[in-house]
């Protein structure tokens, strides 16, 4: 159901003539059009890359609404509506469903570190609160807890609208087990840009991508070439992208990608604290990677 290059889109901010950063709604619409025109297969607003942790509830809802309005059903909108509070996740997901989102991305509860039983009950409660598809988001490096393959398989079996997982564990063995246990109709989506091609090779359907914010056509082409059976071409794109991907993750996401977008004139590079400007030495490495890729003169 969900395949190809799906962008975890940034949330552009502007100072709007004052000190406080506000969501730049016009720029967000412009970026969405850029993705639709450049082969992106889906958009995730309010994910980690979208700085969801520092958006107010009103801003969170508005960013999702704008995305749905601007996309106009041309590609799927997978709204990031997870939380470490089950009731909060339900509230955000119900809003996204009512606004017309095609699916919800549900990060595992962070900081409170639930057991596998707690994870199961949390995701089950969210899934039962709406009719739209749910994609789990497994990223233990940020949340402190791994969703085990057996837990994912049980959720896939028991909750018919839990249809896939964004897997950012970096563990291909775990991803293989998820695919094996959860069945052929369950979407395994890479959560790491550098693992897009390996995940496709074990039955993955695509990538929820950070680097696609700046090179959407290339990420889309990687997946398309693999799906057409052109492995050599897919490998060429994969290896060309790798240095850029490494630079995009030289500091905590979304600091480098938003900085890159600022350098490329795509949006303001403004970040909300506790995200902050890059270290000068890392900024130089990012600039070099952009130049080497041919994006920056």
The secondary structure of 156-221 as a DSSP string is: HHH-TTEEEEEE-S--HHHHHHHHHHH-TTSEEEES-GGGHHHHHHTT--EEEESGGGT-HHHHHH
Task: Select from 237, 248, 229 the least CA-distant residue to 289.
Answer: 248
Instruction: Report yes or no on 235 lying in a domain.
Output: no
Helix (H) or strand (E) holding 79: strand 78-80
Instruction: Report yes or no on 233 lying in a domain.
Output: no
Per-residue pLDDT, 16 = 66
Instruction: Report yes or no on 168 lying in a domain.
Output: yes
Q: Which residue range is the domain that position 28 belongs to?
A: 4-228
Instruction: Report yes or no on 9 lying in a domain.
Output: yes
| Residue 183: pLDDT over 90 | no
- pTM comes to 0.96
Instruction: Report yes or no on 29 lying in a domain.
Output: yes
Two structure tokens written together for 160: 């018919």
Instruction: For residue range 64-91, list pLDDT tens digits in order.
Output: 999 999 999 999 999 999 999 999 999 9
Per-residue pLDDT, 15 = 83
CA distance 170 to 160: 26
Average pLDDT, the chain: 97
Per-residue pLDDT, 184 = 85
Instruction: Report yes or no on 55 lying in a domain.
Output: yes
C-alpha 31: how far from chain center: 15
Half-sphere exposure of 114 (CA within 13 A, CB side): 19
Q: How many domains does the chain have?
A: 1
Residues 6 or more apart from 173 whose CB is under 8 A from it? none
CA distance 22 to 289: 30
CA distance 100 to 263: 34
Please compute the mean of the pLDDT values over residues 160-170 and round it to a whole number. Answer: 97
Per-residue pLDDT, 243 = 98
Work out the pLDDT band at 241, boundaries 50, 70, 90: very high
Instruction: Report yes or no on 114 lying in a domain.
Output: yes
Task: Select from 169, 258, 265, 147 the least CA-distant residue to 210.
Answer: 258
**Residue 86 · residue 116 · CB < 8 Å:** no
CA dihedral 272, 139, 113, 253 (to 10 degrees): -20
Instruction: Report yes or no on 274 lying in a domain.
Output: no
**What b-and-e string marks burial along 236-261, b requiring 16 or more CB atoms within 10 Å of the CB?**
ebbeebeebbbbbbbbebbbbbbbbb
CA distance 158 to 204: 21
CA distance 254 to 7: 13
Per-residue pLDDT, 65 = 98
Q: CATH no. for residue 217?
A: 3.20.20.70
| Residue 259: pLDDT over 60 | yes
Residues 6 or more apart from 64 whose CB is under 8 A from it? 45, 46, 77, 79, 81, 95, 96, 99, 101
Residues 6 or more apart from 256 whose CB is under 8 A from it? 247, 248, 249, 250, 278, 282, 286
| Positions marked catalytic | 137, 166
Q: Is the peptide bond before 179 cis (omega within 30 degrees of 0)?
A: no
Residues 6 or more apart from 76 whose CB is under 8 A from it? 2, 6, 41, 42, 43, 102, 103
Work out the pLDDT band at 138, boundaries 50, 70, 90: very high
């Amino acid at each position: 159901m969900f395949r190809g290059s799906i962008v975890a889109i940034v949330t552009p901010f502007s100072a709007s003539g004052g000190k406080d950063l506000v969501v730049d709604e016009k720029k967000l619409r412009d970026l969405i059009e850029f993705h639709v025109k450049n082969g992106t297969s889906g958009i995730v607003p309010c994910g980690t890359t979208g700085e969801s942790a520092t958006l107010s509830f009103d801003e969170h809802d508005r960013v999702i609404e704008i995305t749905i309005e601007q996309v106009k059903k041309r590609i799927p909108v997978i709204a990031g509506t997870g939380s470490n509070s089950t009731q909060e996740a339900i509230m955000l997901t119900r809003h996204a469903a009512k606004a017309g989102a095609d699916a919800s991305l549900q990060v595992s509860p962070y900081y409170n570190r639930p057991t596998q039983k707690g994870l199961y009950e949390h995701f089950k409660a969210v899934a039962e609160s709406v009719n739209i598809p749910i994609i789990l988001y497994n990223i233990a490096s940020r949340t402190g807890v791994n969703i085990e393959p057996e837990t994912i398989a049980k959720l896939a079996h028991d909750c018919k609208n839990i249809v896939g997982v964004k897997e950012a564990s970096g563990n291909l063995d775990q991803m293989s087990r998820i695919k094996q246990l959860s069945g052929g109709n369950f979407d395994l989506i890479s959560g790491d840009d550098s693992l897009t091609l390996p995940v496709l090779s074990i039955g993955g359907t695509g990538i929820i991508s950070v680097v696609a914010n700046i090179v959407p056509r290339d990420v889309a082409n990687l997946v398309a070439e693999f799906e057409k059976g052109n492995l050599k071409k897919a490998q060429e794109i994969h290896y060309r992208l790798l240095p850029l991907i490494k630079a995009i993750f030289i500091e905590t996401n979304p600091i480098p990608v938003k900085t890159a977008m600022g350098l490329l004139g795509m949006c303001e590079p403004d970040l909300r604290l506790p995200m902050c400007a890059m270290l000068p030495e890392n900024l130089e490495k990012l600039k070099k990677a952009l130049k080497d890729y041919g994006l920056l003169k």
